[in-house]
Structure 1
Amino acid sequence: MNSIHQAAMNPITEDDIANYLANTPDFFERHAQLLSQVQLTSPHGTRAVSLQERQAGMLRDKIKALEHRVMDMVRHGTENEVTADRLQRWTRGLLTTRDARALPIRIASDLETLFLVPQVAIKVWDCDAAYANEAYAQNASEDMKALATSLTAPYCGVNSGFDVAGWLAEPQAAVSIALIPLRPEPEAPAFGLLVLASPDPQRFHADMGIDFLERIAELASAALSRLRS
């Protein structure tokens, strides 16, 4: 009676059963008939399925999830390969441009063409006197220069009325924007600014990675050093 009383006071819980099965791996070997008798609800309907069928379904779901992950990895790898190829072609354009005077125009036009950026503008200041009359060396106000210097990294986000958007051919179409400061060294004041713009509000957004844009900034800054006095 005491054992019955104790059992009533301390009933076996689901956790007790789970722990027992986990610690008794040969249980179903000794009671194999139970496996065929266990019926579970299918996750894809209300019908009952056997334990083996449920396990097979769970395995299929895991395989499908792994397939999706592999496809995502392949897709991202392909996208990265395409981006790397475009960057290489853009860099090659910088290296093969003999006339330093044409460099800013080449930088902007190749960004538009190779990376399908709807609008690109560039301004460079503190240039050698030989380039002072070029369009890209003019109309950068002190406020715009200060904005460029204040950026410690490329800015990506909504165009909230930046004055530098006025450098674009169609400033009203610049919904999202990327501002890329150009500087000779990481801590030095900026000597130029690249402006990338799109009518797509998600093309340049605050949460996007900027590693690629930083590389663009470094390469463009190095190439444009030929214009400086």
Structure 2
Amino acid sequence: MNNAINNPITEDDIANYLANTPDFFQRHAELLAAVQFTSPHSNRAVGLQERQAEMLREKIKSLEQRIMEMIRHGSDNVMLSDRILRWARSLIMVSDFYAMPGVIEQDIQTQFSVPQVGLRLWGVATEYSGLTAAAEVSEDARVFASSLMEPFCGLNTGFEAVTWLEDPSTVTSLALIPLRGGAPASPAFGLLVLASPDPQRFHSGMGTDFLARIGELVSAALSRLK
């Protein structure tokens, strides 16, 4: 008795006993009918079977919501893929290489609803040195671009690249996409900036696969200016 007083049975003990004694309710079937729960959807008491049915309905509803979300994401991805394909086709058709940087900036703004887009290139051929996109860039910005192994997304903390935009004061979040003409570890020859006044548009937790594909297309298009 002293042992029982010093070591009282806990809820975990009861739960473990029932989990490890599956025939308990076969021997005490009357308990199944006697057990009552408070329904989370009302203040009335319900039986075990009704509570199980409620839990099952809640689980089914949760699964339905997840399926609908997957379908929605799938549809969004299909539309996004179509948009990228159309954009890639339009880049291939641009014959005026001097106009290429401006076309890219405008297309990204309109095709993907990005409020502000900026672009800088270095090491371009002499005939393209007069482009706005070929304006002088600091060595720090070049080193930073080359250090990016994937697009950077996050809040604007005073990046030099923000000054390349038309209205830097409104930028809250941004994506910085390095442009490379070769292997992923090769030095960058440019940097693409996507910016928004919405702090959640380009947040640090978002996936960057789509942005990386944009970077690959832009890199391929602009490598012809070198």
TM range, normalised to the smaller chain? 0.7 to 0.9
- 2:198 maps to 200
TM-score (norm 1): 0.85
- 1:30-179 equivalences in 2 (<5 Å): 31=29, 35-179=32-176
Q: Structure 1 CA distance, aligned partners of 2:79 and 2:207?
A: 16
- Once the two structures are TM-superposed, the CA of residue 53 in structure 1 deviates from its matched residue by 1.3
Q: Find the residue that maps to 1:196 and give its secondary structure.
A: strand
Q: Structure 2 CA distance, aligned partners of 1:145 and 1:151?
A: 10
Deviations 1:146-193 (A, max 9, x none): 222222221111111112211100010111111111111212211111
Q: 1:103 to 1:18 in 2, by over 3 A?
A: same
- Once the two structures are TM-superposed, the CA of residue 200 in structure 1 deviates from its matched residue by 0.5
- Aligned-residue Cα RMSD (Å) equals 2.5
Q: Find the residue that maps to 1:205 and give its secondary structure.
A: coil
Larger gyration radius, structure 1 or structure 2: 1
Q: Structure 1 CA distance, aligned partners of 2:209 and 2:19?
A: 50
Question: Which of 208, 218, 221 is the matching residue for 1:220?
Answer: 218
Q: Which amino acid aligns with 2:127?
A: A
- 1:189 maps to 187
Q: Structure 2 CA distance, aligned partners of 1:142 and 1:16?
A: 65
Q: Find the residue that maps to 1:98 and give its secondary structure.
A: coil
- 2:18 maps to 18
Aligned 8 A contact 2:25 2:32 in 1: no
Q: Which amino acid aligns with 1:103?
A: M
Q: Which amino acid aligns with 1:130?
A: E
Q: 1:157 to 1:15 in 2, by over 3 A?
A: closer
Aligned 8 A contact 1:21 1:27 in 2: no
Q: Structure 2 CA distance, aligned partners of 1:173 and 1:22?
A: 64
TM-score (norm 2): 0.86
Q: 1:149 to 1:15 in 2, by over 3 A?
A: closer
Q: 1:37 to 1:152 in 2, by over 3 A?
A: closer
- Once the two structures are TM-superposed, the CA of residue 139 in structure 1 deviates from its matched residue by 2.6
Q: Which amino acid aligns with 1:131?
A: Y
Aligned 8 A contact 1:93 1:106 in 2: no
Q: Aligned pair count?
A: 219
